[in-house]
Structures are given as C-alpha cells and as structure tokens.
C-alpha cells in the first residue's frame, strides 16, 4: 500500500502482509483499506514499567481509530491466515464449534462450477416448462 509512510505493508503474490516491527501505528492503512481488514492493536512497550493511574485515556466510545493510552504502542494488524505455519490458520483448529474451515482456491472454483451447472440446468428446465405452458393455452 502506498499510503504507509514507512513501507511496512507489502504485496507478496497477491497477499497483503504487514511488518508489525516496522509499523509506526499511524493508522492510515486502516483508514484506506476498502475491506476493513486492517485494525489498530495496542501493545505495551518492552521495558515500560506501567501506566500512571492518573493518565487520561481517550474515550473508547469514539472508536478504535481514535483511542490512545500512554505507554501503549499501536500497530496495524491484519489476518494473514497464519502464513508462517504449514498447518494453516490457528483459528480453524481452535474453533470449539467447528464453525470455521479453510478452503483452498481449487475447492472454491470447483464448487462454483458445480453450482453454476446446477443453476443453468434448472434455468433450462424452467424455460422448457414455461414454453410448454404457453403452448397449451
């Protein structure tokens, strides 16, 4: 993405990756992402003893894009489907209700072809029935 001032976002083989160590937390990528897939996430800085209790925080009612807290660093975060793990996304394995599944592009393409063929066949049958009804009148 050209909007990143430190070039922490790269496009690798059509997949967007964020280098969280390079990210400065400007949130510009989250603002311009057309899919809403990039979110700011706060993490404590290493070596910071803790927050002062009298430090004001920005009201959470204003939304995550405007929130801030002293001692917390914001970084852009985007799901990369655990691209670092050959076993695939951890969320799929951890889902207690098996509501998530990981499908590869070939499976999606195959399913779409089958659905289109079924729809085309149903459309042909409907057209045939409609024509036959008109001929009977």
Given a cut of 70, is residue 90 above it in pLDDT?
yes
Tens digit of pLDDT for each residue in 29-54? 999 988 888 888 876 555 555 444 45
Q: Give the start-to-end residue ranges of the domains of the chain.
A: 1-81
Confidence of residue 132 (pLDDT cuts 50, 70, 90): low
Query: Tokens in use for 125?
Result: 């049958």
Q: Is the dihedral of CA 45, 50, 54, 57 positive or negative?
A: positive
pTM exceeds 0.85: no
- Residues contacting residue 28 through CB under 8 Å, at least 6 positions apart: 3, 4, 5
Tens digit of pLDDT for each residue in 49-85? 544 445 555 555 566 666 666 667 788 888 888 877 8
Which helix (H) or strand (E) covers residue 44, if one does?
A: strand 39-44
């Amino acid at each position: 993405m050209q909007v990143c001032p430190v070039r922490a976002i790269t496009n690798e083989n059509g997949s967007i990756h964020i280098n969280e160590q390079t990210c400065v937390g400007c949130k510009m990528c989250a603002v311009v992402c057309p899919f809403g897939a990039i979110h700011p996430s706060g993490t404590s800085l290493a070596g910071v003893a803790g927050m002062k209790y009298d430090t004001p925080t920005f009201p959470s009612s204003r939304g995550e894009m405007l929130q801030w807290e002293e001692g917390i660093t914001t970084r852009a975060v985007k799901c990369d489907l655990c691209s670092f793990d050959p076993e695939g996304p951890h969320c799929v394995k951890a889902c207690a209700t098996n509501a998530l599944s990981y499908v590869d592009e070939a499976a999606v393409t195959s399913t779409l072809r089958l659905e289109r063929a079924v729809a085309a066949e149903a459309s042909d049958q409907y057209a045939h029935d409609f024509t036959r009804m008109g001929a009977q009148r």
